Amino acid sequence: MRARSIAIISLILIAILVSALSDVFTVSAQEKLAEIYTLAYEPEKPVVLESIQFTVGVKNNENQLRNYRLELIITKDGIFKDSQEFTFNLKPESSTAFSPNYIPDDINDFDLITKLYDATTSQLLDLKTLKFRVVSEIGPFDLEVNVPSKFIKANSIAPVILTLSNKGINGTDINVEIELKCVNQSNIRSSFFFFIPTTSVETKITPIQTCDEEGPHEISASIILFNKTWISSANQFFLNKTYQELLFDVPTKININAGESKIFDVQIRNTGTTTLHNLRLLVSIISNNWIKISPQAVTQLNPGEFSIFVVNITVPKDASSQEFPVGIAAAADELLTRKETTFNVAALSALPQILNISSKETIPKIVLPRILTDNATYILIAVLILVGIFALIKTIEVQRRSRREEVVRKLKDLIG
């Protein structure tokens, strides 16, 4: 009886073992029906806004023809970015490869998710993932934001000085965002695009409206690329509603032709009762490459004294016609006064042209004024001919009169 019981238990254990092995082999067979046998990408270091090529290899491990659907999904930080699908069939124990492309519009880490289904999408045969990092050949950058005075008038327009440095091997357009934090009203923001050449340091002066409130305030500037903040800089100043003004005048309008220069001076007088320090003249909007101001700064300006700044603006020959308002600010550590004028550039194509007439060298040569047209030249020649004929006639008349007078004189001598 005991031996019989042992035999029965042994048979049950063997049955369980066989069942388990059968499940293992079944799962293994199911896993190997088809597979994604390779998943790669190139180049090794993908660059933003440049094409990436993936390689996805699929293999049919069965002994009969099968239809499949391959799905590729690209995500970044869990956010869907792109997808592609392929439907195909494979002969028994054969393989194929796909080479889809993708152009990333952002940097840092991405995920590629690949799913292999049967033809009806009812069975997921294989799933593999691939992580890749996208870099940028732009930058790195440095950014510094400054205001030219520690004290600025509330509810006014103030110049902001941005110093931008591109340490990369490529020049690029960047988006600069400026934010002035206010307490009792919404923050004030402005943004613009700015081109920074390779390995260069650029200074740009841009205006911003100040908050209508007093007290310390923070202003920040950021470089935005590919929807990300690459670098930021911040500074502080104090807003006052009671404010002393600097006395100076600016041109009503600055007119310059392309390829020419304009020089003017600005006299700034300290009409207050306190000494001013680090007085500067700032011109916003106009490209910093076009303008030179001398001196760069006046270290100290006592009450009742004045300083003179000389502004030299040179416009390139290829500049287009344009007209826009320009801010000219006198800024010291203690206060700032800003005035506006209009800057007008006339392109070379918009200027009246002077016709130049050239002629080949001949001997003899009559040199005519270059501004004459061909018709005017003919008229001048005709006038010269007429004057010559008139002079010849007058000469003949004089000779005839002389001969008559000689004959009359001889007759008088004979008679006398």
Q: How many CB atoms lie within 10 A of CB 180?
A: 21
**pLDDT at residue 7, rounded to an integer:** 52
pLDDT digits (tens, 9 = 90+) for 234-283: 999 999 988 788 899 999 999 999 999 999 999 999 988 889 999 999 99
**285: pLDDT confidence band, cut at 50, 70 and 90?**
confident
Q: What is the mean pLDDT of the chain?
A: 84
Selection from 46, 58, 131, 59 nearest residue 99 by Cα: 58
**pLDDT at residue 8, rounded to an integer:** 58
**Alpha-carbon torsion (213, 303, 236, 340), positive or negative:** positive
Q: How many CB atoms lie within 10 A of CB 394?
A: 10
347 or 96, greater pLDDT: 96
Please state whether beta strands 188-196 and 172-180 pair in parallel, antiparallel, or not at all (unpaired).
antiparallel
Selection from 163, 184, 278 nearest residue 239 by Cα: 184
Selection from 331, 278, 281 nearest residue 301 by Cα: 278
Are 164 and 174 spatial neighbours (Cβ–Cβ below 8 Å)?
yes
User: Does residue 363 carry a pLDDT above 80?
Assistant: no
pTM for the full model? 0.58
Are 106 and 227 spatial neighbours (Cβ–Cβ below 8 Å)?
yes
pLDDT digits (tens, 9 = 90+) for 182-197: 999 999 999 999 888 8
C-alpha span between 375 and 370 (Å, rounded): 13
- Residue 290 backbone phi and psi in degrees, to 5: -90, -20
**pLDDT at residue 297, rounded to an integer:** 94
